[in-house]
Structure 1
Amino acid sequence: MPPHCDTRDGPVVRAAEKALEKGNVNYVLIWVPKESERELADAFERTMKVRKLGEGAKDLADDWFFETAIRLHRAGEGAPYTGLKPAGLDEGPVVPRAEKAIETGDAGEVIRFVLDVAREDLQRRFHAVIEKKHYDPDDVVAGRAYVQAFIDFVVYTHHLYRYVKGGEKHEGGGGGHSH
């Protein structure tokens, strides 16, 4: 996934902020696997106590809570925790469209965008194979270029199909958290 779930403006931190604002850890518990609930709930309770000690303590406690939530979320994905990233990182063209679709209840734009990108990439790979298909049998270099383009197209379509049909999990396939 592009930089997102581990950023200050990503969904995990937004949920953690709402949990702290509302005094209800359940807003962020949904972002961690069941086996991490106790650890996050304990961190929430500690954070709520420390936040009362002043603005500096509140900022420090909040950051620690955000980091804990992200670390547990990433572990649930089977991905390493690499720290709390700054807000505003480039999420690529799909994430904002996908989040907008969730907000509005209309997935049309993101579906069209993804299908157009997939169609263009499939066409590009296919044309690369066709351009190299009629090589001179005595030109082994050209034959190998054909084989590489052939494999690139066929394997790509296979992986794309498997991913679309649910054969791939978010972030390395591990853990109990697939998005």
Structure 2
Amino acid sequence: MRKFPLPALLATILMGLSTLPLAAHCDALDGPVVTAARQALAKGDVNPVLAWVKGEDEAQIRAAFARTLKVGALGPEAKELAETYFFETLVRVHRAGEGAPYTGLKPAGLDLGPAIPAADKAMASGDLKPVFELMHGVLKPGLEARFKEARATRSQATSDPASGRKAVAAYVDFLHYVDGVYQAAAGGGAHAEGAEAEAHAAPAKPEPHHQH
């Protein structure tokens, strides 16, 4: 049985959830990282932003914060330039800590699709139900379509090898779609990879139903 890459399956599932990478949320001028930076600068307290960087990067952010406050005291224009410098530094270090490249600050008001706003709203309200409904609405069509295709091609398969291959291909697509979603939801990692390998070590090939 051919094994299809799980990341490709997950990308298909999640495509409808957001029109932009999650990075755009963190990099935006109205995103959580810059929002925390604005609050820190307004209070003169660096602590609100330190949670967004790794411990080994804390000294760098503290130094940048101190420089920003010092330069910002020179006047409005200097303050604007200094704050932009701090926003860029903080976001760049945050992204590096995630192992991701920094591509510059993004403007406020970006269309992030439905998923990220829904998740943020759930965090604020404490109600996760809308997120469950959103995820279900995206998963259900893909799951149903693959299931129906696998069932249909199996029932219509004949002794012709091409017909059998079509049935097997649809079966494999359905199987890996389900497994890919499950592994991602279960957390992935080494344990999930081991379970996946075991599950597919000796896959059962569906027997074509012969039509007379």
Output the TM-score relative to the length of structure 1.
0.84
Cα deviation per residue 1:27-61 (whole Å; 9 max; x = unaligned)? 11111111211111111111111111222211111
Of 133, 138, 145 in structure 1, the residue corresponding to residue 160 of structure 2 is 138
Describe the shift of the 1:127–1:28 C-alpha distance in structure 2 as closer, same or farther (beyond 3 A). Answer: same
Question: Which ranges of structure 2 fall in alignment gaps of 5 or more residues?
Answer: 1-20, 190-212
SS of the residue 2:67 aligns to: helix
Correspondence 1:12 to 2:33: yes
Cα deviation per residue 1:60-102 (whole Å; 9 max; x = unaligned)? 1111111111111111211111111111222111111111111
CA RMSD of aligned residues (A): 1.9
Distance of 1:46 and 1:136 partners within structure 2:
74
Within 5 Å, give how 1:158-173 maps onto structure 2.
Answer: 158-167=179-188
Deviating more after overlay: 118-127 vs 7-16: 118-127
Tell me what 1:152 maps to: 173
Within 5 Å, give how 1:116-127 maps onto structure 2.
Answer: 116-127=137-148
Tell me what 1:78 maps to: 99
Correspondence 1:37 to 2:58: yes
Distance of 1:41 and 1:14 partners within structure 2:
17
Question: Which amino acid in 2 is paired with 1:4?
Answer: H
Distance of 1:6 and 1:44 partners within structure 2:
18
Question: Which amino acid in 2 is paired with 1:135?
Answer: A
Cα deviation per residue 1:124-175 (whole Å; 9 max; x = unaligned)? 22223223333344262x554444433332222222112111226xxxxxxx
Within 5 Å, give how 1:45-124 maps onto structure 2.
Answer: 45-124=66-145
Question: Which ranges of structure 1 fall in alignment gaps of 5 or more residues?
Answer: 169-179
Identity value in percent: 49
Distance of 2:85 and 2:166 partners within structure 1:
52
Describe the shift of the 1:162–1:38 C-alpha distance in structure 2 as closer, same or farther (beyond 3 A). Answer: same
Output the TM-score relative to the length of structure 2.
0.72
Describe the shift of the 1:144–1:20 C-alpha distance in structure 2 as closer, same or farther (beyond 3 A). Answer: farther
